[in-house]
A and B are shown apart, each in its own frame.
Chain A
Amino acid sequence: MIALLLLLIPLLGGFVTFFLKSDNAARSWSLLTAIATLLVAFLGLAVYNKPECLSFHADWIQPLGASFALKLDGLGYTLSLLATLALPLILAATWHRQYANAKNFFGWMLLGVAGMLGVFMAMDALLFYFFWELALIPMYFICSQWGGEKRIPVTFKFFIYTFFGSILMLVALIYIYFQTPNHSFAIEDFYKAGQALSYNDQMWLFWLLFIAFAVKMPIFPFHTWQPDTYEQSPTAATMLLSGIMVKMGVLGLLRWVLPIVPQAAYSWGDLTSSMAVIGIIYASLIAMRQDDMKRLIAYSSIAHIGLMAIAIFSETQSSFQGVMVQMFNHGINIVALWMVVEIIERQFGTRKMSELGGLAQKAPALAIFFVLFAFANIALPLTNAFVGEFLMFNGILNSAVTKYNVVFAVLAGLGIILGAVYTLRMTRKVFFGPANALTQNAVDIKWNEKIILGFIAVVIIVMGVYPQPILDFTQAISDELLKQADILHLLKK
C-alpha cells in the first residue's frame, strides 16, 4: 500500500499540476505534493517490519505474464527516501527561480520523480522498463525546454544515449523472459532463469544489460553526455539528474545485473572495474581544469559513481552496503552543492570560478555551509560520505572475486585525493582570497535558505556520526543480493 501511494501521489499530483490555473498555485501545489510523498515515505518507516504493507501486487498484462509488482526493500527504500527527501528540498531551494510556463515545469518534475520511484520499487522486469523510460521523458522535456543556450542538442544527445542503452536492455529482458519456465517477468523468476543460463549466454547478455546502466550512471566511456547535460539543464533538473536519476543505473547493476548474470558479472568484473577506475582518474583530472562550477561538480560526480561501480563488482557484503549508503549520501551531498551553485549563480549571474572570489567575507553563512558540503564531497571523517566510502574500500580490498583489489583500491584512492584537490581549489577560488568588483556587494543567504542548507548539514553530520540506522536498513538486502550474485556459492550449489 505504501509503495502504491508513493508512486501515485507524485504521479497524480504531477498530472494535476499541468491543469492548474496559475504558476504560483502550481509551485505551491508541487511542493505540497512533494511533502505529502515524503510523509508517506516516513509513514512506511513506521510499518517497516510488516513487509505486506510495503509491497503491492496486481495483475497487469496477463498473457505476457507481466504484473504490477512494487516492493520497498532496503535498497529501494533507501533510494525512495532519498528521492522523496530531495524533492521538497529541491523545490524549496529553487523557489524564487522564475520559469516560463512554470506549471509545466513542476508537472514534469513530479512525473519524473514518480518514474524514478517506480524504478526503485519495480519488481517486474517489464514494469521496471516502463518506469525506466517514464523517468527519462520528463527529464528530456525539462532540460530541453528550460535549459541553457545549447540545451536542445545536448539534451537530445542525453536522450539518444539513454534510449539506446535501454533498448539493448529490452532485448536482454525479453531473452531472459523466454528462459523463465512459466514465461513471467517477475524478478524471482528472472533470478532463477538467469542463473541457470549457460555461460556463453550470460556473457553477452551481461553487456546488453550493463550498457543501459553504464550510460545512466555514467561509467567511462559512456559518460560524454553527462557534463554537458548537467551544465545546460536548469539547476533543479540537474539536482534530480545527478542526485537521484543516476542512482537508477547503480540500482540496475545491483538488482538487475549481478543476480541475473552472476557468472558473467564475475568474468567481466575486472574489465568493468578497470573502466570505472579509468573514469575516476580521468574525470578527476578534468575536474581539476574546470572553471565552471557546474562542470566541476559534474565531473566529480563521475568519479564518485565510478567508485560505486568498482564496489559493486567486488561483490562483498561490505561493499554492497557501502554502495547503498553512499548512494543516499552522494545524493544528499551533490544536491547540497548544486544548491549553493544555484544561490551563487542567482546572485552574480555567473558560475565561473575565475570571476568569483572572496565570498566568505560578505556571506559567511553560505561559506560555512559550502565548506561543510565540500568536506562531505571529499568524504572527510564525521561526514556522511566517509561511512560509505570506508565500507566500499573495505569491500574492495577484501573482495574474493578479483585478483586486483589492491590496484583498484589504490587507484580509486587516488581519485579521492584528486577529489580533495579540486574541491578545495573550488572552495578557495570562490569563497576566499580578495573580493573583486562583482563579489564586493555580496549578500548573505536569507533565513529560508539557511533552514534548507542547515537541514542538509544536519543530515550530513548525523549520518556521518551515527550511520547505524541506515546500515541496519540495508543489511538484509545486501545479504540477499550477495547470496544471489555470489558465484562461489552458486558453483557449490
Chain B
Amino acid sequence: MAKLRVQIVTAEREVLTEDDVDMVVAPGSEGVVGILPRHAPLLTTLNPGVIRIKKGGVESSMAVGGGFLQVANDRIRILADTAEREDEVDEARADAARQRAQAALQDALKSGQHTQAEAARTALRRSLVRIQVAQRRSGRRSAPTQSSTANTL
C-alpha cells in the first residue's frame, strides 16, 4: 500500500522529514483534516494546533502555531510558523506563557483593545497547544486547565 512522505519546515529549520507514514491529522483552518495515502491534492491554511503522525502503529505529535499544508502525490508539506516535537516542548515554560497570555487577554478585554486581545488570544491558543502536546507525551489526557481556559477563547 502507498505511504505518505511528510516534511515539516519552519522559517528557521527543517523540523522533520519522514517516509512511510500511514496517516496525518492536522488542524486545518476549515476543520481538522485527516490525510491518508492517495489523498486528493490539497492546499490549506493551518490553525495553531496539534499535528498527529501515525506510522506503523506508533503515533507521534507535534505542536504547530499555524501555517500552511500542501498535499500532492502522497507528499505532505507543512510550512509551520512554529513547530515543536513533543519531546521538545517545555511544559513549565508553556504554562508560564499560558498564564501571561491569559493575563494579557483579560487586560485587553477590559480596556477594549481589540488588536491586543486578538494577539493575546493567538498566544494563548499556541501555549495551550504546546501544553496539550506535552501532556500527550507524558501519557496524561486533557487536564482541567484546558477546559477552564477554553471558555475564554
Decide whether A and B assemble into one complex: no
